[in-house]
């Protein structure tokens, strides 16, 4: 029996505990590929799920990874042994992971393992919000709330390469705004002054597409800066679930509020989202037009320290686990 290391979340009464364990290397089934993981991303959602894990069986954490193709299941033919790949799946914070071949994307030669591992989750999510749910069109004015978050950093760059006009970025932290400014934002806004900043950046038109990760506390001011026919796509609710909505403005301006969640989709729909992201973004990633900022990298044995950093919420860029 061949064994591998994996980072398990062990549910306990006070919340999940992280533990490195040896476990059996999984075997790929039909249409699946076994990948030798070189690096895996760590996202805020995983930290929240770990903290909430109070009962149930231990599980291997992680939703994204990069590595080399180690074995092919029956019928899998899209990649060859040794290919550099990155992808989205489950139980990825381990030496090996099995995923559907449709969940994989080729890693451009210019990317490090850490950069490749940090790409899938936030860029698939942000691309889905902007291009699929939000219907981004060239020339649209885009607002990205919580712009220094992983999804925010991705959304700014995706909006730019897909032809957005003005890109307005918000954050409560001046240091974080300074960090995202080089990514291509037109205007970076702190806790106050959004309406005036949008008027200036868009020539008075307003925002065509807002990507919101904060939720309730920013709902009213975000709706207030939307242009005629504007769309607000909500991805996350880091600030809370409930907010105030001016329904007159919603109606008179013909606005749309769109909620998205991959947890509410079938696996087939998620795989379609991965394919769309790869189609639209891999050329820009390979050319360097899109970058994947890395805040810090941790060894698998130090994954608990990596969770602590994510909880502090002081970083810009992704936290990555190397194997």
| Residue listed under structure tokens 């139980």 | 91
Taking the C-alpha atoms of residue 194 and residue 256, their distance in angstroms, rounded to an integer, is: 20
Taking the C-alpha atoms of residue 162 and residue 322, their distance in angstroms, rounded to an integer, is: 31
Fold of 125-262: Rossmann fold (3.40.50)
Q: What is the pLDDT of residues 208-232, one digit of tens each?
A: 999 999 988 999 999 999 999 999 9
pLDDT of residue 119: 98
DSSP string, 100-169: EGGGEEEPPTT--HHHHHHSHHHHHHHHIIIIIIS---TT--EEESSTTSHHHHHHHHHHHHTT-S-EEE
Enumerate the domain spans of the chain.
Answer: 3-119+292-322, 125-262
Pairing outcome for strands 318-322 and 32-42:
antiparallel
Contact of 2 with 25, CB cutoff 8 Å? yes
* pLDDT greater than 90 at residue 310: yes
The pTM (predicted TM-score) of the whole model is 0.94
DSSP string, 208-237: EEEEESSBHHHHHHHHHTEEEEEEEEE---
> Structurally, what CATH architecture does the domain formed by 3-119+292-322 represent?
Alpha-Beta Complex (3.90)
Which of 75, 139, 125, 140 has the alpha carbon at shortest distance from 101? 75
> DSSP code of 318?
E
* Cα atoms in the Cβ-side hemisphere of radius 13 Å centred on 226: 30
Q: What is the pLDDT of residues 139-159, one digit of tens each?
A: 999 999 999 999 999 999 999
Q: What is the pLDDT of residues 236-279, one digit of tens each?
A: 888 888 999 999 999 999 999 999 988 888 889 999 999 999 99
Which of 178, 233, 185, 238 has the alpha carbon at shortest distance from 208? 233
């Amino acid at each position: 029996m061949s064994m591998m290391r994996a980072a398990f979340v062990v549910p306990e009464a006070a919340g999940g505990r992280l533990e490195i364990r040896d476990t059996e290397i999984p075997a790929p089934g039909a249409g699946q590929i076994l990948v030798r993981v070189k690096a895996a991303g760590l996202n805020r959602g995983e930290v929240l799920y770990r903290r909430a894990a109070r009962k149930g069986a231990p599980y291997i954490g992680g939703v994204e990874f990069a590595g080399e193709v180690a074995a092919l299941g029956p019928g899998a033919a899209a990649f060859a042994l040794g290919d550099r790949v990155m992808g989205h799946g489950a139980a990825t914070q381990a030496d090996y992971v099995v995923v559907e071949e449709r969940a994989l994307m080729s890693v451009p030669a210019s990317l490090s393992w850490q950069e490749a591992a940090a790409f899938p989750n936030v860029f698939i999510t942000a691309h889905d919000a902007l291009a699929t749910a939000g219907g981004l069109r060239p020339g649209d004015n885009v607002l990205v709330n919580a712009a220094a978050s992983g999804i925010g950093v991705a959304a700014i760059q995706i909006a730019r390469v897909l032809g957005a006009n003005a890109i307005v970025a918000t954050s409560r932290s001046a240091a974080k705004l300074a960090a995202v400014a080089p990514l291509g934002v037109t205007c970076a806004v702190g806790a106050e002054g959004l309406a005036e900043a949008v008027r200036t950046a868009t020539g008075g038109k307003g925002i065509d597409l807002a990507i919101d990760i904060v939720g309730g506390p920013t709902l009213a001011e975000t709706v207030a800066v939307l242009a005629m026919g504007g769309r607000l796509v909500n991805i996350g609710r880091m600030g809370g679930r409930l907010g105030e909505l001016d329904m007159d403005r919603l109606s008179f301006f013909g606005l749309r509020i769109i909620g998205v969640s991959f947890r509410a989709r079938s696996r087939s729909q998620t795989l379609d989202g991965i394919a769309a992201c790869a189609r639209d973004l891999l050329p820009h990633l390979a050319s360097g037009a899109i970058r994947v900022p890395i805040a810090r990298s941790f060894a698998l044995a130090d994954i608990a320290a990596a969770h602590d950093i994510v909880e502090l919420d002081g970083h810009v860029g992704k936290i990555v686990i190397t194997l």
